[in-house]
Amino acid sequence: MQQPTVGRIVHFTPPFPALGKTDIPPQAAIVVNVARDDVVDLLVWGPNRDERVRAVRFDPDGAPRSWNWPARA
């Protein structure tokens, strides 16, 4: 299994907004801190702004407010 390290690019699935939209695509993010193998802090590039998101858990299925590895090309 891959291990997160500072500088790695990952996907971040944002929390679903109050409008109930559930088909939000993942956003590109860079790991800025590794708390544990499954919990990281991210700098997320969003469509309207960039933001730092702390204590984000790994979820291979892309649950809301989680990170996962991008598919290999």
Q: What is the pLDDT of residues 18-44, one digit of tens each?
A: 566 667 788 999 999 999 999 999 999
Q: Domain residue spans in the chain? A: 9-68
Which of these, 70, 52, 72, lies nearest to 62 by C-alpha position? Answer: 70
Specify the pairing of strand 50-58 against strand 66-68: parallel
pTM confidence score:
0.86
Task: Report d(CA 58, CA 40) in Å as an integer.
Answer: 8
Looking at per-residue pLDDT, the higher value among 18 and 67 belongs to 67
Match 């933001």 to its residue by tokens: 51
Confidence of residue 73 (pLDDT cuts 50, 70, 90): confident
